[in-house]
Structure 1
Amino acid sequence: MSKRLTTEQLTAIHYLSQPNKGGKTIEEIAKECGVSDRTVYRWMNDDTFDKELRRQAQRNVSKLVPDVVQAMYATAIKEGNAAAAKLILTVAGMLTDKIEVETKSSDAIPDIEEMRRMLAEDDTDA
């Protein structure tokens, strides 16, 4: 059973998960929670607290993604930026790196030395 976080810990996570800690210092966050700054630092070393802090930060960032993609789209169109266009398509799942593997025989066990030779050739081509 996982440890439950207190209301004070969730309040601290609210601020700590924001950019620039929501404009507050650790001391201000501690005061808001009614605890000492040492307690907040101790919480930050707690696995349960840290996992929830990371989850909340990820949720905060995910809310920004549509705006970031829109800004990248506008820049890609305006500046003709192919790299930005590629990134937008990748984020949208419309473009992926494709790796093709060719096998000579489906029933033959590949020779490890032959595979090493092929990899070495591929490395020298790059």
Structure 2
Amino acid sequence: MTKTKLSEAQLRAIEYLALPDKGGLTYAEVAAEVGVDERTLRRWRSDDAFYEELKRKIIKDSAKDLPRVFASMPEHVISGGNAAMARIILQAHGMLSDKVEVHAQHSGGAVDVDAIRARMMAQAKAHSDGE
């Protein structure tokens, strides 16, 4: 795959656009800072190569904050009951997956669904009681 080379002006624009709130600048001000008009900056922003480099820069710059973010998450889960954040924490620790495959093996006899349900409920209760 051929990688599109971005110009120096595009790379400077990315430096501004990757800052929170564009470093306090408007798009017009960012364009002026890098020496282009606002329409050019708008066109760049819709370009896939420019967008991918901007996204890469934002991710790279935010990586240094991840330890603090992860350290603050349990308190938000506990005090706010934030289930979505709990899911993220569990996924990050490999304790939750999006896909579970179940393969049933049946010996040909009747399946006692009520007995299976009772066993599952007992296991869930034991787990919630801390056993």
TM range (shorter): 0.5 to 0.7
Q: 1:82 to 1:8 in 2, by over 3 A?
A: closer
For structure 2, the residue ranges without an aligned partner over 5 or more in a row are: 107-131
Give the distance between the partners of 1:67 and 1:95, measured in 2 at CA.
22
Give 1:10 shift. Answer: 0.8
Cα distance, 1:104 vs structure 2: 3.4
Q: CA deviation at 1:20?
A: 1.3
Deviates more, 1:94-103 or 1:45-54: 94-103
Normalization by structure 2: what TM-score? 0.62
Number of the residue aligned with 1:104: 105
- 1:7 paired with 2:4, answer no
Correspondence for 1:52:
53
Q: Render the CA deviation track for 1:39-98: whole Å, top value 9, x for unaligned.
A: 111211222112211222222343332221111133446x38483555323223234356
| C-alpha spacing 1:51/1:95, structure 2 compared with 1 (3 Å) | same
Q: 1:29 to 1:74 in 2, by over 3 A?
A: same
State the partner residue of 1:21: 22
Identity across the alignment (%): 42
| Alpha-carbon shift at residue 2 of structure 1 (Å) | 2.3
Aligned-residue RMSD, C-alpha: 2.6
Shift of 1:12: 0.6
Q: Report matched runs for 1:68-107 at 5 Å.
A: 68-76=69-77, 79=79, 81=81, 83=83, 84-97=85-98, 99-104=100-105
SS of the residue 1:57 aligns to: helix
Q: In 2 relative to 1, CA 81–8 (structure 1 residues): closer, same or farther, beyond 3 Å?
A: same
Number of residue pairs matched by the alignment = 104
Normalising to structure 1: TM-score of the pair? 0.64
**2:43 corresponds to:** 42
CA distance in 2, matches of 1:30, 1:87: 37
Structure 1: gaps (5+ residues): 106-126
